[in-house]
């Protein structure tokens, strides 16, 4: 139940239409909670029905016309409640780790190229985060809100750093492997 709260956060930061939200999910918010436009429209409908948000424009626009939303007091209260409520961390779920474990059984043919590709992608993502950090969080004078947002970005940077290091190490192991185990 996190998507509605991601949307509430985004709308509090700035009232938006569905498509604008979709674009923001492709950028900042989507860096730790991704969503497609179909999910967003579905959820906007629910949030409006629950009285957490409302449309901005006085006239009800028809299909195809832009429709912007803002958060109502009940929505802000729900977000505060959710943010403070205790939630268990989700166990790790990673396809590449699973694939390596499978490769230990059925052989490593073909997987090395994808490890390289992932290394590239994670390096790109890391560079993107570092760019954002340079632009949005220059040294000195951070407001408390900025320090929290910086902390979140830092997690992204650290995680991408981890992946680049781990993938590099994995590829070194592959270089060392005498031959494929059982192929």
Partner DNA sequence: CGAAACATGTAACTTGTTACATGATTAT
Partner DNA sequence: ATAATCATGTAACAAGTTACATGTTTCG
Residues 112-131 that bind its own copies (CB under 8 A): 113-114, 117-118, 121-122
Q: Would you state the torsion angle of the CA atoms of residues 90, 92, 98, 101, taken in this order, to the nearest 10 degrees?
A: -130
- What DSSP character marks residue 85? S
Residues numbered 30-59 forming contacts with DNA, rule: CB under 7 A? 34-39, 41-42, 44-45
Binding range to its own copies, per CB under 8 A, among 23-31, 36-44, 49-57, 131-139 = 23-31
Structure tokens at 97: 């780790």
Assess contact for 18 and 37: CB atoms under 8 A. Answer: yes
Interface with its own copies, residue 137, by CB under 8 A: no
Q: 68 has which bridge partners? A: 17
Interface with DNA, residue 2, by CB under 7 A: yes
Residues numbered 136-165 forming contacts with DNA, rule: CB under 7 A? none
- Chain residues in the site for DNA (CB under 7 A): 1-3, 17-20, 34-39, 41-42, 44-45, 61-68
């Amino acid at each position: 139940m996190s998507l509605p709260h991601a949307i509430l956060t985004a709308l509090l930061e700035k009232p938006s239409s569905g498509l604008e939200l979709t674009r923001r999910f492709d950028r900042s918010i989507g860096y730790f909670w991704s969503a497609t436009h179909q999910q967003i429209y579905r959820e906007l409908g629910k949030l409006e029905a629950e009285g957490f948000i409302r449309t901005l424009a006085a006239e009800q626009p028809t299909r195809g016309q832009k429709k912007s939303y803002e958060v109502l007091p009940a929505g802000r209260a729900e977000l505060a409640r959710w943010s403070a409520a205790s939630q268990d961390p989700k166990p790790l779920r990673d396809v590449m780790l699973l694939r390596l474990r499978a490769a230990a059984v059925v052989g490593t043919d073909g997987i090395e190229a994808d490890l390289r590709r992932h290394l590239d992608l994670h390096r790109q993502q890391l560079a993107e985060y570092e760019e954002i950090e340079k632009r949005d969080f220059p040294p000195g004078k951070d407001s408390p809100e900025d320090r929290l947002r910086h902390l979140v970005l830092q997690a992204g940077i650290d995680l991408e750093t981890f992946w680049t290091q781990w993938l590099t190490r994995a590829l070194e192991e592959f270089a060392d492997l005498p031959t494929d185990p059982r192929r």
